[in-house]
Chain A
């Protein structure tokens, strides 16, 4: 059964497949041995991960004196990276939730990997508060339990909101991802012959049999989870932004922060999805499922969110000028021309300049350029957090305590290490679970094939 689609729409699954072909083409790379490039990639990311773990161990063993933070700049590299990872996670939920509600068909072949990316990004992010505490064994202090003096955690503090927001976000993302995975795990289970692997997948498939009533509940639950995940994704990065905006520091205390952080998060997250998908597409032979049309659609989201971020920069700049408050004005002047001006201008070039290039259709449809730009954007977004955090802290109200911050090798190690953890987890994920939602691809197959036929007729 195909749903009527305008002839302007392009098919999102290439090659007029049958249901069987979808199953086998998505699962074959999983059942077969990985290609050489995969081994190369996992060695690289595994190495980065080991280096990071080493640095993490060193931090915990020695204490956070191994970092460059000082009495004025108490937050710097680690919080930047924390916010960066949380932001990257947002695109997964955005793709699976908001695009599901808006019925964008192109989300079907990217949602699974985007959701997995969310989970791994949130894990990477959650590591930072953990090691930033200095004494990770005392992490339970942040949970609401009455300590020996019957004192509770401070529910008025955005940092405690963060604990709740991130815990909820991780849990709901995990549930959403797994609920979506169950039918595909069942497909994998039925594809495999006997053996331990089959037993494991049988266990993980939750005895899914594909009954119409089960599908009905599955669909309703998925769409409802999407509906609650949509405001959730907004709330999480808003709360992260309030870690800064609830203070009264110039550059941090500004009301645009919550929506601006959310837009920035989706921006960097989409860039990361593009980076990953362009890799996964190569590693797993998914060229028919992740097409140029998908990349173009995602690039359009990059233009939109990138422009919103640019608008936020304009607004901040205007307001600090317009406000007439000298602290606000100095903050911005310091960002643009102070000792960290290089970071500010990297941020502007990478975030504002790059996405605007995607207005050009040719660049938007070029995989190589997209891969390049997606990395540039994530560099820019990392610098955005760095600029916000460090420039506001290193010169605050009291000039006598103005200082500079310089990251140490340990801190670079933590960033590289989380990148390693992230990519290792993703590379393992694409070997273990179907990276594209098989059942969802099948449900749109007829429509796509009809479009494919229409396209062929059109081109003669």
Chain B
């Protein structure tokens, strides 16, 4: 019960080394392939978005379960909690985009900017872009910190006021998050193609980040279990995580299809300009995206017995996590790199750098407190949980 995660020396050494090696590989690959700074910046944007999404998705996971007064997740609660600690880093990394604006955002170019219509001139300009960015991050970090602080208080005190407080902050966070996650996806991803818009876009990105986040939670749960932690984890908890992955993968596919069908059916040139390059230039990835993110979890987890098997669920989560990286790739790269976009050594090594950094921060935060929040009012319920 008083389990404490120890960030072993082995991991503490391997992660930075792996990151450093990846960085060398990345720089070499960029230089040798002769790609310009655009490729560097689009890789940074892609991974910023992907890992920020995982981190935010975890906060969404916590807040939704909190507001729904759900109890089963209490034993793995600290995993998503620790995942949110990447947010401040993501903030700094997003601010870095300032130096690459011209390489990735077409509207940052003054000539393109002059050609925009009135509303877009107001919305898409560098100062306002960063003002909004600061606003989003300030809100997210504040609400998440408040939720986390009150959760942490429950490790020492059993006063219910902490529980009630974190619940209130979860509700407020959800309202703020609902608006800002849409708005930020318009800003950071949709505006890569300034002449295009789709109203479902924000919700689509939200679900994609949430599924990626679920995959990460499952993978970490599996890893902690392999390391010998989380002895109280029951197959019933695995089942519920699996059912979330299953259900939200279907929901993701639904959102994907809703957007595709309506644009395909309407056949308006200003809308189809988004799907045409993706479907015709990147056909393989375009269908791979659907295949991994929908077909794999759907058929992999459709049987009830498979949802109780942690190894199996983790394997599917690993594939789906890669699938959602591809989803983000398809959102971003065809706009920033055009038809030349590929998944090569630079993309893989840059993702590895981010992954190492993310996991390092995650493990460090996780080791700072006990794995199980002792005074959580739902702990006993979660320990005895039967699905």
Contacts and interface: CB of A to CB of B under 8 A. Distances in A.
A255 B198 contact: yes
Nearest to B200: A255
B262 A242 contact: yes
Given A8-B69, A323-B197, A324-B120, A315 B262 contact: no
B106 interface: no
A433 interface: no
Contacts of A231: 250, 254
Given A234-B254, A248-B268, A324-B117, A319 B262 contact: no
Interface in B257-293: 258-259, 261-263, 265-266, 268, 270
A165 B265 CA distance: 19
B380 A311 contact: no
A163 B169 CA distance: 44
A324 B118 contact: yes
A147 interface: no
A255 B380 contact: no
A238 B254 contact: yes
B384 to A, nearest CB: 4
B381 interface: yes
Interface stretch (A166-174, A194-202, A256-264, A410-418): A256-264
Nearest to B378: A6
A140 interface: no
A5 B378 CA distance: 8
Interface stretch (B2-10, B175-183, B227-235): B175-183
Contacts of B119: 321-324
A322 B247 contact: no
A288 interface: no
Contacts of A246: 261-262, 265-266
Given A246-B265, A248-B266, A255-B198, A4 B179 contact: no
B159 to A, nearest CB: 13
Contacts of B263: 255
B266 A319 contact: no
Contacts of B120: 322, 324
A43 interface: no
Contacts, number: 104
A92 B123 CA distance: 42
By size class, the interface of chain A is 35 or more
A444 interface: no
Interface centre among A300, A312, A324 (most CB of B within 10 A): A324
Interface in A277-322: 300, 307-308, 311-312, 314-316, 318-319, 321-322
Contact of A322 (B123, B171, B259, B261): B123
Contact of A255 (B171, B251, B262, B377): B262
A3 interface: yes
A33 B348 CA distance: 74
A245 interface: yes
Contacts of A3: 384, 386
A6 B377 contact: yes
A104 B258 CA distance: 29
Contacts of A103: 387
Contacts of B67: 300
A325 interface: yes
A218 interface: no
A359 B197 CA distance: 33
A307 B380 contact: no
B154 to A, nearest CB: 13
Contacts of A235: 254
B255 interface: yes
By size class, the interface of chain B is 35 or more
Contact of B178 (A256, A258, A307): A307
A253 interface: yes
A4 B123 contact: no
A3 B71 CA distance: 13
A259 B258 CA distance: 8
A315 B163 CA distance: 33
B258 A311 contact: no
A240 to B, nearest CB: 13
Nearest to A248: B266
Interface string B49-75: 000000000000000000111110000
Nearest to A249: B266
A6 B381 contact: yes
A234 B68 CA distance: 21
A285 B54 CA distance: 49
B137 interface: no
Given A101-B243, A255-B198, A311-B182, A8 B266 contact: no
A238 B69 contact: no
Contacts of B202: 315
B188 interface: no
Contact of B377 (A7, A101, A247): A7
Contacts of A234: 251, 254
Interface string A368-395: 0000000000000000000000000000
Nearest to A230: B247
A255 B199 contact: yes
Interface in A99-125: 101-104
Nearest to A325: B270
A254 interface: yes
Nearest to A257: B262
B203 A259 contact: yes
Contacts of A255: 198-201, 258-259, 262-263
Contact of A256 (B123, B160, B203): B203
Interface string A1-21: 001111111000000000000
Given A253-B262, A315-B199, A307 B175 contact: yes
Contacts of A245: 262
B128 to A, nearest CB: 13
A9 to B, nearest CB: 8
Interface string B331-375: 000000000000000000000000000000000000000000000
B258 A238 contact: yes
Contacts of A5: 71, 381
Nearest to B72: A103
A322 B197 contact: yes
B138 to A, nearest CB: 20
A188 B265 CA distance: 52
Contacts of A256: 199-200, 203
Contacts of B201: 255
A6 B250 contact: no
28 contacts: A3-B386, A6-B71, A6-B381, A8-B160, A8-B163, A8-B377, A101-B243, A234-B254, A247-B266, A255-B199, A255-B263, A256-B199, A257-B258, A259-B203, A259-B255, A300-B67, A307-B175, A307-B178, A312-B199, A315-B182, A315-B202, A318-B186, A319-B197, A321-B119, A322-B123, A322-B186, A323-B197, A359-B171
Interface of A: 3-9, 101-104, 230-231, 234-235, 238, 242, 245-248, 253-259, 300, 307-308, 311-312, 314-316, 318-319, 321-325, 359
Given A4-B380, A104-B68, 5 more contacts: A235-B254, A253-B266, A255-B259, A300-B67, A318-B186
Instruction: Please provide the 7 A-B residue pairs with the shortest distance between their CB atoms, ordered closest to farther.
Output: A256-B199, A324-B117, A4-B384, A255-B200, A258-B258, A6-B381, A246-B265
